[in-house]
Amino acid sequence: MINRKSFIKQAAALTAGTLLPLHAGERLLHEFSGPKLTILYTNDTHARLDPFPENSRQFAGLGGIARRASLVKKVRAQEKHLLLLDAGDVFQGTPWFDVYGGKVDMKLMSEMKYDAMAIGNHEFDRGLDGFAEAAKKAGFPMLASNYITRNTPMNPFVRRQIIKEMEGFRVGIFGLGIQLHGVVERELFGNVRSQDPIAVSKRGVDSLRNFHDCDYVICLSHLGYRYENGQTDDITLAQSVEGIDLIIGGHTHTFLDEPVLVENPAGKQTIITQMGHSGVRVGRIDLNLTGSTENIPFESRFYLIDGKTGV
């Protein structure tokens, strides 16, 4: 595990996202006395299956799916309860995608036992048939609660939400995709339709909380971290929808060194996090599963995937 001082020295080339203040009252894991849930997450890996070349101008020698898989395996061996999640844009960016169209990514992510991923805009880059061909290799759900996919090749592979349970603790997970018009070429998304992510989220969270009795709700968002043009982003989502505990974001390639906490309409805190792009980082959040579910203590960290990653 890389500590904060080491990161500052090693990662000067990384573009840090704009941060809001971290809530000062959060407790750390060393105070936890009971079971916990560990969440590992990625976003915008963009077919970066190999590490960046050592002579790369940016991220030299970093990344690589074999290293990420090794890290996940180590953490799984240490933690009883683990979720592995991705916030979308697995496709596009290297010759691996040009040749295999995402099928290799899906196969390797399945072998790593991902629990779910959001659908990013680049998942449409080979059209709906291309998405379906790659999705056949995915042994995990692909989530987009605000996309209407009926009567399209995408439909059999897309789910709105899933629920995971460990020791009676129920976690609801749903996905959000970005507005397709203006981002994805019309012929690529065909008859798939986007819905308003805030309205969809309000309905979905209400269902997860009140019908499915979820104790914790995670949104895998490919909306983007923050915009200045009024477009719906993760900050707006957190401020507008109560009941989301954690937003794992993507699309804007934002490197957040620490989670951002945003007050939701109920006056509670929603955690927002994002790990940049290209798999050079894997994020981690640990939740305390003991005590009240009203204010669950957490600890966050990230791993820099540099070939020397420890746990």
Expressed as residue numbers, the domain containing 177 is 116-275
Q: Is residue 188 part of a domain?
A: yes
Whether 38 maps to a domain, the answer reads no
- Overall number of domains in the chain: 1
**In this predicted model, what pLDDT tens digit does every residue of 22-36 receive, in sequence order?**
332 333 434 445 689
Phi, psi (degrees; rounded to nearest 5) at 137: -90, -5
In a domain, 180, yes or no: yes
| Chain segment 252-306, per-residue pLDDT in tens | 999 999 999 999 999 999 999 999 999 999 999 999 887 666 778 999 999 999 9
**In whole angstroms, what is the distance from residue 68 CA to residue 163 CA?**
25
3-state SS, residue 35: coil
Residue 111 lies in a domain: no
User: Is 174 contained in some domain?
Assistant: yes
Can you tell me the distance from the alpha carbon of 93 to that of 179, in angstroms, rounded to the nearest whole number?
A: 21
SS3 content of the chain, % helix, strand, coil (to 5): 25, 25, 50
User: Is residue 217 included in any domain, yes or no?
Assistant: yes
Supply the CATH number for residue 157's domain. 3.60.21.10
Average pLDDT over residues 240-246: 98
Q: Give the DSSP H/E element, type plus range, for residue 128.
A: helix 127-135
Place of tokens 């040009």: 98
Contact 48, 94 (CB under 8 A): yes
Question: Is the pTM here over 0.85, yes or no?
Answer: yes
Q: Which residue has the tokens 């939400």?
A: 161
Question: CB-hemisphere CA count at 13 Å for 303?
Answer: 26
pLDDT of residue 7: 31
Is residue 44, in this structure, part of any structural domain at all?
no
Residue 255, pLDDT score: 98
Is residue 49 a part of any domain in this protein? no
Q: What is the pLDDT of residues 108-133, one digit of tens each?
A: 999 999 999 999 999 999 999 999 99
